[in-house]
Structure 1
Amino acid sequence: MTTIADRLAVAQSRIAQAAQKCARLPHSIHLLAVSKTKPIADIIAAYDAGQRCFGENYVQEGVTKIESLKTTHPDIEWHFIGPLQSNKTTLVAQHFDWMHTLSREKIALRLNEQRPANLAPLNVCIQINISDEDTKSGINAQQMLPLANSISQLPQLRLRGLMAIPSATDDTEQQTRELSELKHLFDTLKQHYPDVDTLSMGMSNDLDLAIAYGSTMVRIGSAIFGERDYSSKETTI
């Protein structure tokens, strides 16, 4: 029987091989294990295999897991990677370490105001809608620098970089075009904000290409935890 530890090792090996192909150091690419809809026991299994960074898409589900594990597993780094409505910003500001999907100044202002003073600034990534799909969240390229400027002035937020979900396609040319544009935007952002260090892009289907185009954080879920059951997920994100 294949275990979570086995699948995690395979994912880490894929990252290392992809990094070596483009002359990058494997440790420069972080694996974010996407644990949405999965039970706490699965997170603990991945933790016991060495994983420390976990991504959650649904606010209340994520907060429940954080609260359950904060005493026994205090070194877990929790990343919020789902769409966020303004009525749930308080929960993200108070419980998560990272927020990957920032695309509105209103949300940035709320997160900054609601981040507890005793916590480190919330790490945030600006989400880019690189495929220009109506069904995806994120901003266009022209909006990136104005939003980054707003975030940079908020003391309880720390701008770390960009996040995107490129098109789910087998068209390598389209994938390459979108990933290349993201790399260009990331480099542009770094020119204005040298402390920026995170390009969150790439999942199981495009991991190799994403790493070739500079991804520093790949998000892998089902390949580690198995297929998902969405029947009990939150209806309002």
Structure 2
Amino acid sequence: MKTPRAAAFAGIVFAVVILVAFAILLQAIQPRAGDTGAWARDKASAVNFALQLIPVAGVAFLWFIGVLRDRLGPDEDKLFATVFLGSGVLFVGLLFVAAAATSAIVFAAQEPGFLAGATFRLARSLAFDLTSVYAMKMASVFMFTASSLIVRTGFTSRWTAALGYGLGLLVLLFSQSAPLTLFLFPLWVLTVSLTILWEQWRDAEPRAAAREPASPPLAPEA
């Protein structure tokens, strides 16, 4: 599979899988202020299923980063490339740690008295802050740098860069107070990936037409 198409498919896999995982988790887990932890027992199966999706999404996202860097090649700016790669890797790492902390809560919730103690509140706060504060801030930095690379190199439509700047600002400012901002980053990655696929398909049609052999000349009549 050629590089732009591989990046697009990896981005689509990441976006779809992480959107499903976030939707399940937000439906199951209450906001932090009123969280009693009942979800860790009553909705343990759904939460565990969502947590199992996160490593799949993380691997797809790392593939998305790698293929995009290969696509940029010598056009990649070292400053932007360093922040682009670093923020993406940090996002995945923080998301994995938050998922592990949430999984530990589900496991420990089977012990009597755990949900009423300080240990649950500590673990819950850790998982919440790792996701909504640190991981999502890194996601906003990734959106800013990726959008800047789009503007500088034009490897896809520049309107996706404008969208990335706007959504990245919303994530940066409101990820801790508005849980629905979790969906903005994967939706942007999905938009960029679909745009790359569309451009590949659109550009392939003229090339395919140019490669078609011309019709042979008609034989002269006897």
TM-score class, shorter: under 0.3
Report which of the two has the higher share of helix: 2
- TM-score, scaled relative to structure 2: 0.25
| CA radius of gyration, larger in | 2
Q: Which has the higher contact order (CA 8 A, sep 6+)?
A: 2
- TM-score, scaled relative to structure 1: 0.24
